[in-house]
Structure 1
């Protein structure tokens, strides 16, 4: 078996968190002057000796200024952090007020991660946000940069689901290229005794729209003076961050005396650093005894035991990882601490070459939901204790209008109104919808059909929900836990298609919570008018006779002859009235090089916009989708003239929450 990056380092330097190999081994080569924007990364102050590898730009955080950041418009998140609520849990074992989950994810190479997605469907399209409380954008390396800011698409998707995102500060072990000078650079003080790089980190997070920092100091050789400086730095970082609504998580590596010694516990070696931060990730060497003692110690310090993340390394084996679950989240006692999942993108990375988005989501559902693939009926014999088994899901669906086209943030094609608008595979998490949190709860007295995101057809974006299989009894599919007000004009719209005949569809609406955890919502079933043919159709259902608040939405499917079904749901919307956003203004090309363009535009009411789409209009009038973004800037690359075309014509549209599109703003580029 090939060793993982982390096990290579373990042999040389002990237990460590390892974001990436040196940049020359991982970064995608690119021209230094390319217009394609990438994620931002820095060294604290001094730069390495020599020259950077291909496609890498060495930068100093100390000299960063927002006004001089040429890529800021592409990298700044646009979606604010959404509030969320916890419905009655889907099963009797999930708990709402105990262990939380942090996820440390490497979405791509430090220096080669495009700011606005790329032309492949092969990406870690995280969708199980309902179980997460914190996402760390993992990365950094000695050859590229040590401080990594999250790209906007990940932040926008996470915020849409109510999940904060942290950037990463990685001071690597010497065995991995770390230099103690970089640690000293980070904690340097100015003449007034302040830590200028603490202020810089907070300024970056504020400008980029993410939620704070994960500080991972693993370069050995420090002394007590450096330990004291680090403690002062973390204290000031937390104070400045708190004033901006940001947070700081500390990794259990450097101790208060400046040495690096992974404790796997909260104790006297790291207590002061934990107290200086908002939370701490405990190294993987914990035991049942040290976790129990750590939880007690946190409470003795006046802190919550759930502010400790017990690290579980799933990079190599994913849901086949052997874990002492009862040490962290015992089934018959209060949870001991929270859980820190290191590298759950294994669900993508372990797949063989040629895998599809369907393959990825099947593996990812196994990881987050468990072997049963139904959070309402967990498999108690499963050795992997999936998050859905012990953590209650959360939802952000609380206001009108609300709509979803079940976009997962990647696809094999791009669809608009049921037609293919681009044959190019794509990924862009900022275009991900608020997705059903309980995937997939199916309630039936008969054989259970399969339910999955499917990429062979869609109404908008790249995916739809496909229900397939035998249906010898009616089946109810839970879709969304909500807190949506019902008014006299409230309408629910479903865009769907039956690929086999004889499927009767009813909208399931619950205006109250279930009586107990694991129980079905008290649904009222509203029939949809019968249709014919196998094409997409949109049906509007008025919530006549209902009042108060919608707590849950689903569908009930009945096969006329009890036979197999194939039924797709492409869109669900809840509204009081139809709304269309205003058009963008001031569309312009801000930079150009051959067929590579940077576009920008303005909008009079950006808060009404879900995202923007960019199309190219060909000489014959055909519109071709080029990309979408939540930002008011977009990179379009590799354009070439069409036959007889003197100028490329591009259109930018604002797309509202209901997926209605504005009139276009047009810009041209002469060839």
Structure 2
């Protein structure tokens, strides 16, 4: 694989950027993020192979209703006045982002996890492609419902992905030909299904990524027919984007430009083939020294070639790959955005989710996100190269792309809800104190992050999102710092286009740690967009909990003018050290526009639910919308606890909702769920309820583990209770141990004499008891000094492996950076010959997360077997529900020469590849 040298890239930063991999690395990679357990009835976002898509029907897919977006694409997105002089008005931006950690296991309506890629810089992108797909899970991936809703709310079309990977990454040419299968009448059934899926789920088109080698010129011609057929059959608002990979001969040969070899997938005479083309990343590179390659010149010639085809140059998107290094790399900005000239083409960004995937905390993610989109100064007014004098360094997308807004019309309300939280507040009252994420609930967030002004030489308050305080949702806008008469803070927030009427009213809801600080609402009008007029409410009303204050201002005297900017100003006549204010809501409404109070939903029912261990239950709900001509913004779903208090389980704009696992409280016999509709002013309507019954309360199931089973005299063993959760008391018996009995839950016992010892646990509750006895502790002087890893560097074989660098021996080489990886259908088997018969006491398995991969790829279900002869095997460990990156399994001392790991469910989701970074077999040598 050749590497190209760029004379403009600093050597310390170019190692990823200049790697001209044959596949351009457009792969659906695993991400760091959510990897929660999929419950029995948890609905998941769809994924298919071409032939399984043909068989799909929403009528047969019980998850389909949960995967529908409920927000229509907001029309009328506008640019308005440019924020800075460097940004271009004509080029567009398309982002290819992995919105979930894997293709499978993506929850349809959010999850009970705070960690989520809640992208919010929608103002800079014109299309979002929900990147996904893998050979082991599925190739055709529509956007999940929460992504559709968030994008549409911000006026951004969102596309699904058709991913045909390279053969070295599992791609098969037959999959491409399955995609292109035709009926006798010339129609393409998979194309018809792609259009059907987009229409049913409510998204806006498809990104076609064909990188599988082995195609012919006839395949290329058929692909063109396929794309032209989609153009004929899809609606005018549906888009098809082609990735620059296949050429007219059928080969995979990335161009980095529009050329005679790939133009057939863009335009064919008078016929449009694709609506946009994403150009491969190599458009940036030119060997100025030896002249071995030049991709820059063909790229610079592309706009003219586009015009010759009768198309717009901004239908081409020059791709940059930020997956590995984000803004820490260099890119050829001068070629794409020449200074003082129009942009050459539009911009495509592959994997801007880097900001999330490379971050360990929410705070780190949000800081990286701000730098990525608005530059190192984190202020869209002050963008530019992060390294002085280096035009190839990162300068923030806002430097070249003009921000856009959807805040228009007569009404706007934001609660600064990012779409995730550690709590959920309703009108200032915390109604949920558990983690959650649901991008469908994300508000329209500030256009400008952050334009903060104060007097010269002073330091303004620092703005950020606060996840500890919220008015409606899981977050609020926070400002912190010192405030005084000499040091006010003006925070510009939203680009708007809102005509002022006689009934227009501004409102702000906030709380602060000092009464001395004043909060004013700022408005800029179209006739003077850089000048703000400030309004301070004359009367403040206490609302909700935690001393939230709400104030309103009428704008009737400004009737006929147009608001183009919305801001907040903070002042104080006295010095306030460490001032903090949280803005819970900001709105522009009409005082005479009283939104109707929604009636109760009808036909509310539990369509399915599942119980686990007698104390956990989930539920799928469905209902019919109120029939009173009032559009419902959201539906709140509450659980009524035995004490009568309400707990918010979640919210949705859909008329179906999955209530995640609830823990049974106080041995309750039944649980009531309530659905309450909210109108567009967040006002609650009438409630409806449904009740489900719990099964009989279970008696315990006793079980336990020991931290070691092979010890020397005088050593201690810690016993860990693994009985079912309903256990209320424990009685242990340790013959030969000290103590010989215990009622502690997790006792520690010392054994002084050699021998084999049994342990008995009796688990009890009000419903009965269960007893388990294990002959498992061996005390011997042979164990002095501990046990050894008997599998280390021994002979290992496997049922399959991806390649020689991920073969079976790498699971037993003692290196946590290497692995055995097996693909294909499970189960996957790893067998180790220990070289001789040994006494085995414990196993340690290092799953995907131990090697740095996402927790979503940790082995879920597996078993371990032992054998003395390699032919007759005995199960000694069986695990059905693992989520850990490293799992340890102690057993009673067992003689064996061979150990076998059988991976039955390789990941937490649908990916069938096993990833084992270490398999240790511990015992006596």
Gaps of 5+ in 1: 1-5, 46-59
Counterpart in the other structure of 2:57: 65
Counterpart in the other structure of 2:897: none
Aligned partners of 2:384 and 2:395 also within 8 Å: no
Counterpart in the other structure of 1:20: 29
Counterpart in the other structure of 2:666: 643
Counterpart in the other structure of 1:632: 655
Q: Alignment partner of 1:236: what SS? A: helix
User: Does residue 567 of structure 2 align to residue 575 of structure 1?
Assistant: no
**CA distance, structure 2, for counterparts of residue 324 and residue 17 of structure 1:** 19
Q: 1:111 to 1:183 in 2, by over 3 A?
A: same
Q: 1:493 to 1:135 in 2, by over 3 A?
A: same
User: Once the two structures are superposed, what CA deviation does each residue of 1:581-615 show, in whole Å capped at 9, x if it has no partner?
Assistant: 33322211111112121001111368722221111
Counterpart in the other structure of 2:523: 509
User: Once the two structures are superposed, what CA deviation does each residue of 1:308-331 show, in whole Å capped at 9, x if it has no partner?
Assistant: 111111111111121111111223
Q: 1:586 to 1:401 in 2, by over 3 A?
A: farther
Q: Which has the higher strand share?
A: 2
User: Does residue 380 of structure 2 align to residue 375 of structure 1?
Assistant: yes
**CA distance, structure 2, for counterparts of residue 386 and residue 315 of structure 1:** 16
**CA distance, structure 2, for counterparts of residue 606 and residue 358 of structure 1:** 42
Decide which of 478, 496, 502 is 2:510's aligned counterpart: 496
Matches within 5 A, 1:477-488: 477-488=491-502
Counterpart in the other structure of 2:459: 447
**CA distance, structure 1, for counterparts of residue 30 and residue 454 of structure 2:** 49
Q: Alignment partner of 2:556: what SS? A: coil
Counterpart in the other structure of 2:448: 438
Q: CA deviation at 1:527?
A: 1.4
**CA distance, structure 2, for counterparts of residue 568 and residue 29 of structure 1:** 34
Decide which of 178, 187, 190 is 1:185's aligned counterpart: 178
Aligned partners of 1:325 and 1:385 also within 8 Å: no
User: Does residue 676 of structure 2 align to residue 653 of structure 1?
Assistant: yes
Q: CA deviation at 1:513?
A: 5.3
User: Does residue 278 of structure 2 align to residue 281 of structure 1?
Assistant: yes
Counterpart in the other structure of 1:249: 241
Q: Alignment partner of 1:197: what SS? A: helix
Matches within 5 A, 1:213-232: 213-232=206-225
Aligned partners of 1:476 and 1:554 also within 8 Å: yes
Aligned partners of 2:676 and 2:684 also within 8 Å: yes
User: Once the two structures are superposed, what CA deviation does each residue of 1:273-293 show, in whole Å capped at 9, x if it has no partner?
Assistant: 012100011111113323211
User: Does residue 560 of structure 2 align to residue 560 of structure 1?
Assistant: no
User: Does residue 130 of structure 2 align to residue 137 of structure 1?
Assistant: yes
- The alignment's TM-score, normalised by the length of structure 1, stands at 0.91
Decide which of 610, 619, 629 is 1:593's aligned counterpart: 610
Larger Rg: 2
User: Once the two structures are superposed, what CA deviation does each residue of 1:143-194 show, in whole Å capped at 9, x if it has no partner?
Assistant: 1110001100011000000000000000111101111111001011101011
**CA distance, structure 2, for counterparts of residue 476 and residue 301 of structure 1:** 49
Q: Alignment partner of 1:115: what SS? A: coil
**CA distance, structure 2, for counterparts of residue 388 and residue 115 of structure 1:** 31
Q: CA deviation at 1:27?
A: 8.1
Decide which of 60, 71, 78 is 1:79's aligned counterpart: 71
Q: Alignment partner of 1:335: what SS? A: coil
Counterpart in the other structure of 2:691: 668
**CA distance, structure 2, for counterparts of residue 143 and residue 101 of structure 1:** 27
Decide which of 564, 567, 573 is 1:551's aligned counterpart: 564
Counterpart in the other structure of 1:261: 253
Aligned partners of 2:451 and 2:492 also within 8 Å: yes
Q: Which has the higher helix share?
A: 1
Aligned partners of 2:320 and 2:350 also within 8 Å: yes
User: Does residue 589 of structure 2 align to residue 584 of structure 1?
Assistant: no
**CA distance, structure 2, for counterparts of residue 67 and residue 554 of structure 1:** 48
User: Once the two structures are superposed, what CA deviation does each residue of 1:513-552 show, in whole Å capped at 9, x if it has no partner?
Assistant: 546xxxx2x3221112376997211111111311123222
Q: Alignment partner of 2:490: what SS? A: strand
Q: CA deviation at 1:640?
A: 3.1
Q: CA deviation at 1:505?
A: 1.6
Aligned partners of 2:131 and 2:161 also within 8 Å: yes
Decide which of 194, 199, 203 is 1:201's aligned counterpart: 194
Q: 1:377 to 1:529 in 2, by over 3 A?
A: farther
Aligned partners of 1:160 and 1:434 also within 8 Å: yes
Q: 1:93 to 1:326 in 2, by over 3 A?
A: same
Aligned partners of 2:58 and 2:65 also within 8 Å: no
**CA distance, structure 2, for counterparts of residue 12 and residue 510 of structure 1:** 50
**CA distance, structure 1, for counterparts of residue 303 and residue 527 of structure 2:** 33
**CA distance, structure 1, for counterparts of residue 433 and residue 37 of structure 2:** 26
User: Does residue 54 of structure 2 align to residue 44 of structure 1?
Assistant: no
Q: CA deviation at 1:638?
A: 1.5
Q: CA deviation at 1:21?
A: 6.0
Aligned partners of 1:37 and 1:114 also within 8 Å: yes
Q: Which has the higher contact order (CA 8 A, sep 6+)?
A: 1
